[in-house]
């Protein structure tokens, strides 16, 4: 049959808008190629005309150039028409695609709506409410069980409260007598020949500053003991060890039957990273954690007679001996820490500065500290309008002398050098020997006496009465507000249930 009637011609698919747009774009490109050729001819004719004199030859070239220009104008008109057609087809194609997308979106939303309806049919709101009520009843029963277990029993009922108060007052007097009889590591009692009893005074200093400023060396020099290892490499092949977490090192130092329990907190060296944003948060967080731990033990009903004091009593802030000014990062960090703890600034490795540079550097640091409102220890808490006793005047004068000396310009060394036949802590250089205990060389002796003799007990009391008390007040007020809000919500729920 195919020999007689032949085969049917294959159906050609109808052209789409995309095909038409592609065809039109190709025609526009071909017209653009022709226009570029005509532009090249016009440039050639114009160059010829610029080199020819007026006459028949120049007029002939001019006529050819005019014909080429007319062809260019014709092609440009065709190009513009084709471009307009392509634009119209693209707009139509865009509208068609949007309509298809809309139809697909509507179908998907219908399917999702059906699925949501089928899923919601499986959920029973009444059962959820019943489960919530059962959970609330179980929690109330658990609270009642805890209250029942925590009841105090076995106490006699005939105990008079007045007798209890009298016994409590007497117990307070006994504790006060014990505290008055306890020797202080910083007082002049160390000069006494014998102290019959041995008491332990606890202090927790922290050291804070950039890596490589000699923090570990200075602490070891102050207490004349190797308490902290240096972070510098011992060999060239070893990499520098960086303190990556807060580490506590505890030692008991004994001198003339008096024991000092010393806990040194080694902190991360700030400013060593590329991004130093919030680099002070580890030490501030650690200080607040110690306050919080002490507060929890203090609020315990059956607390110990003597609560272990792990609060940080001072922070030795090491400043690089640049001789110019405080770095902006140092100012921010010092201000953040001073809001939570006693801060004592120290110019580390001050032997790298001349005496004139040291005086100018200390003056500039004091000006910046005063300008930025940074509160440093010791604080002047005696008002001028108050009548002062002789002891108050002496104490105020001592505090003012210390504040005039701050920041302490110190030098640390764990090695002994011989000066006038006597072994002392110092450093030997090509220019001479630096004796760390010579007040003409540095202020190490003043810092050591300040930390271990004249102000040790005051640092502990200042931490308890100012910084910890402020933290304790904020925590108790927050606890009171949360308790009040919880009670008000419970009252509202009780009123609503009674109305129902």
DSSP H helical ranges for 236-340: 281-299, 328-338
Percent helix, strand and coil across the chain, each to the nearest 5: 55, 10, 35
Q: Of residues 159 and 282, which shows the higher confidence score? A: 282
The least confident of 85-99, 146-160, 367-381 is 146-160
Residue 187 has pLDDT above 50, yes or no: no
Instruction: State the average pLDDT over residues 298-305.
Output: 80
Identify which of 335, 316, 333 has the alpha carbon closest to the alpha carbon of residue 450: 316
Tell me which residue has tokens 């899923």.
119
The pLDDT-based confidence of 70 (bands split at 50, 70, 90) is confident
Q: Dump pLDDT digits (tens) for 106-154.
A: 888 888 888 888 887 777 777 888 888 888 888 888 777 777 776 655 4
The pLDDT-based confidence of 338 (bands split at 50, 70, 90) is very high
User: What average pLDDT is seen over the chain?
Assistant: 78
pLDDT of residue 159: 47
pTM > 0.75: yes or no: no
The pLDDT-based confidence of 5 (bands split at 50, 70, 90) is low
Instruction: State the average pLDDT over residues 226-247.
Output: 61
- Percentage above 70 pLDDT, the chain: 78
The pLDDT-based confidence of 363 (bands split at 50, 70, 90) is very high
Q: Dump pLDDT digits (tens) for 446-458.
A: 998 998 888 888 8
Residue 198 has pLDDT above 60, yes or no: no
Between helix 281-299 and helix 468-499 the angle, nearest 10°, is 70
Between strands 408-409 and 343-347, the pairing is parallel
CA 338 to the chain's CA centroid: 15
Instruction: State the average pLDDT over residues 95-115.
Output: 87
DSSP H helical ranges for 314-464: 328-338, 355-371, 390-405, 444-449, 456-462
């Amino acid at each position: 049959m195919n020999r007689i009637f032949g085969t049917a011609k294959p159906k050609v698919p109808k052209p789409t808008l995309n095909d038409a747009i592609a065809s039109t774009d190709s025609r526009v490109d071909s017209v653009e190629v022709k226009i570029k050729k005509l532009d090249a001819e016009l440039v050639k004719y114009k160059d010829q005309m610029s080199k020819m004199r007026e006459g028949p030859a120049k007029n002939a070239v001019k006529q050819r150039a005019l014909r080429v220009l007319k062809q260019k104008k014709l092609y440009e008109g065709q190009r513009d028409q084709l471009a307009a057609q392509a634009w119209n087809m693209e707009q139509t194609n865009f509208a068609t695609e949007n309509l298809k997308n809309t139809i697909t979106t509507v179908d998907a939303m219908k399917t999702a709506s059906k699925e949501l309806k089928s899923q919601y049919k499986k959920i029973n709101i009444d059962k959820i409410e019943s489960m919530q009520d059962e959970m609330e009843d179980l929690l109330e029963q658990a609270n009642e069980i805890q209250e029942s277990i925590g009841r105090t029993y076995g106490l006699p009922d005939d105990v008079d409260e007045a007798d209890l108060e009298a016994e409590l007052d007497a117990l307070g007097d006994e504790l006060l007598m014990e505290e008055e009889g306890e020797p202080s590591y910083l007082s002049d009692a160390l000069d006494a020949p014998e102290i019959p009893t041995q008491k332990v005074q606890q202090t927790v200093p922290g050291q804070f500053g950039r890596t490589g400023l000699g923090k570990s060396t200075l602490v070891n020099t102050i207490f004349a003991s190797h308490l902290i290892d240096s972070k510098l490499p011992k060999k060239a092949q070893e990499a520098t060890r960086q303190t990556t977490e807060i580490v506590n090192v505890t030692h008991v130092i004994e001198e003339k039957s008096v024991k000092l329990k010393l806990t040194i907190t080694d902190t991360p060296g700030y400013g060593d990273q590329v991004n130093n944003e919030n680099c002070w948060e580890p030490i501030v967080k650690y200080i607040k954690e110690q306050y919080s731990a002490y507060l929890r033990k203090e609020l315990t009903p059956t607390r110990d007679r003597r609560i272990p004091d792990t609060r940080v009593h001072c922070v030795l802030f090491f400043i690089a001996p640049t001789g110019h000014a405080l770095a902006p990062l140092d100012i921010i960090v010092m201000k953040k820490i001073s809001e939570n703890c006693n801060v004592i600034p120290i110019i580390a490795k001050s032997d790298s500065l001349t005496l004139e540079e040291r005086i100018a550097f200390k003056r500039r640091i004091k000006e910046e500290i005063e300008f930025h409102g940074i509160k440093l220890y010791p604080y002047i808490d005696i008002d001028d309008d108050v009548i002062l006793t002789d002891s108050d005047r002496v104490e105020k004068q001592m505090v003012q002398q210390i504040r005039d000396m701050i920041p302490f310009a110190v030098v640390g060394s764990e090695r002994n050098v011989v000066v006038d036949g006597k072994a002392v802590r110092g450093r030997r250089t090509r220019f001479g020997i630096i004796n760390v205990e010579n007040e003409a060389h540095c202020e190490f002796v003043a810092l050591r006496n300040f930390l271990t003799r004249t102000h040790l007990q005051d640092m502990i009391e200042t931490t308890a009465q100012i910084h910890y008390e402020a933290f304790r007040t904020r925590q108790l007020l927050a606890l009171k507000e949360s308790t009040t809000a919880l009670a008000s919500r419970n009252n509202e729920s009780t009123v609503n249930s009674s109305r129902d």
